[in-house]
């Protein structure tokens, strides 16, 4: 059933009302559509959303993102009802790694720690020593003082970036984000020639050849922080275009340019206001994780979150 189609303001009011009735928290990733970010209680990157999920007193978590994000919330909050408004919203990179294949790699490198990017399935998290996000990946790997080898799964580009900041041997999984990995250095160069005074902000999921073109390599939250703290007229943004909503909201007088029209994650754009309302109304689709997988996976997530707490003290 469609609710309030063509009238976002009315539909947002309906969502707000039913959210309060059901003591629900709505989380949205920076790559979600503008109207979803506008309606959410909290907008963040994978790390920030994980922290919010872990700390909430809500009974229901509505995760406006993709499947692995809702799965992480279900792992961290077994007493909460976790909803994913669009159950087909997945992550191609997460699908590039599975538990069985990871177990085989662990057999090849028995002395290696396993660091899994949060963009991975619950099964992969259960086979990992510690989780990470693009915001804390370097810090996570550096924290593994008892290991000289690290299996980094599933993003080869983020793993390659991390390898620049450690003497550990980083064993790369051959996964990648299709949105970021397709970027070409010539696209970045063309944007730079058009806006020569604009700093280039690159997400570490981009290929090394693109990362090499700038010293400004940030997670999505890192990009937002850098732009707020600097004073340039123009910025070249090398990540998914959904981030522009928050960039413009925080910095209405600054201008943001994306070097490619292909910087769009289709899965992230599947969430709609209608689907959020329907999820709250029906309390479905629910995302659950089996208890045996959850008990293993939560350890890797909690170890990551503990590093974040230590850095705040």
Domains of the chain, CATH where assigned: 8-89+268-292 (3.40.50.10800), 94-178+295-312 (3.40.50.10800), 183-261 (3.40.50.10800)
Burial class (CB in 10 A: 0-12, 13-18, 19+), 11: buried
Mean pLDDT of 292-304: 95
Angle between helices 8-21 and 273-282 (to 10 degrees): 20
- Pairing of the two strands 169-172 and 149-153: parallel
Q: Tokens 């981030």 appear where?
A: 243
For position 51, what pLDDT does the model report?
85
- Paired tokens of 293: 């997988």
Q: Coil, strand or helix: which one is 169?
A: strand
Residue 151 pLDDT > 60, yes or no? yes
With pLDDT > 90 as the criterion, what percentage of the chain qualifies? 91
Q: What are the b/e assignments for 25-52, b being 16+ CB within 10 Å? A: bbbbbbbbbebbbbbbbebbbbbbbbbb
Report the distance separating Cα 175 and Cα 12, nearest Å: 37
pLDDT in tens, 153-211: 999 999 999 999 999 999 999 999 999 999 999 999 999 999 999 999 999 999 999 99
> What DSSP element (H or E) covers 152?
strand 149-153
Q: Quick one: pLDDT band at residue 8, thresholds 50, 70, 90?
A: confident
Name beta bridge partners: 43: 28
For position 308, what pLDDT does the model report?
67
pLDDT in tens, 12-58: 999 999 999 999 999 999 999 999 999 999 999 987 888 898 899 99
> Within a 10 A sphere around the Cβ of 156, how many other Cβ atoms?
22
Report the distance separating Cα 163 and Cα 169, nearest Å: 8
- Paired tokens of 209: 């050849």
Give CA 156 to chain center in angstroms: 16
Residue 1 pLDDT > 50, yes or no? no
pLDDT in tens, 105-128: 999 999 999 999 999 999 999 999
Question: Do residues 134 and 157 make contact, with C-beta atoms less than 8 angstroms apart?
Answer: no
Mean pLDDT of 247-267: 97
Contacts within 8 Å (CB) and 24+ apart, 103-110: 103/127, 105/151, 105/153, 105/171, 105/173, 106/151, 109/149, 109/151, 109/171
């Amino acid at each position: 059933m469609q609710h309030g189609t063509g009238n976002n303001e009315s539909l947002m009011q309906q969502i707000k009302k039913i959210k309060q009735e059901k003591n629900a928290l709505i989380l949205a990733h920076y790559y979600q559509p503008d109207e979803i970010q506008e309606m959410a209680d909290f907008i963040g990157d994978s790390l920030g959303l994980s922290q919010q999920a872990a700390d909430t007193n809500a009974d229901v978590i509505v995760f406006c993102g993709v499947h692995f994000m809702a799965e992480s919330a279900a792992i961290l909050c077994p007493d909460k009802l976790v909803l994913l408004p669009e159950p087909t919203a997945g992550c191609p990179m997460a699908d590039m790694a599975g538990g069985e294949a990871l177990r085989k790699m662990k057999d090849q490198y028995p002395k290696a720690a396993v660091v899994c990017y949060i963009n991975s399935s619950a099964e992969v998290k259960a086979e990992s020593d510690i989780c990470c996000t693009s915001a804390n990946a370097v810090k996570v790997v550096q924290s593994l003082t008892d290991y000289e080898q690290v299996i980094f799964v599933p993003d080869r580009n983020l793993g390659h970036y991390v390898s620049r900041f450690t003497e550990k041997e980083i064993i790369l999984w051959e996964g990648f984000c299709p949105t970021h990995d397709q970027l070409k250095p010539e696209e970045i160069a063309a944007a730079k020639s058009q806006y020569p005074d604009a700093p280039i902000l690159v997400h570490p999921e981009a290929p090394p050849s693109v990362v090499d073109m700038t010293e400004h390599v940030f997670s999505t939250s890192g990009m937002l922080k850098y732009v707020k703290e600097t004073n340039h007229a123009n910025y070249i943004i090398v990540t998914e275009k959904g981030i522009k909503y928050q960039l413009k909201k925080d910095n209405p007088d600054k201008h943001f340019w994306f070097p490619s029209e292909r910087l769009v994650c289709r899965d992230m754009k599947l969430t709609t206001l209608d689907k959020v309302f329907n999820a709250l109304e029906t309390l479905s689709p629910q995302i659950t994780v089996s208890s045996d997988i959850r008990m293993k996976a939560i350890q890797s997530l909690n170890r990551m979150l503990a590093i974040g707490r230590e850095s705040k003290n």
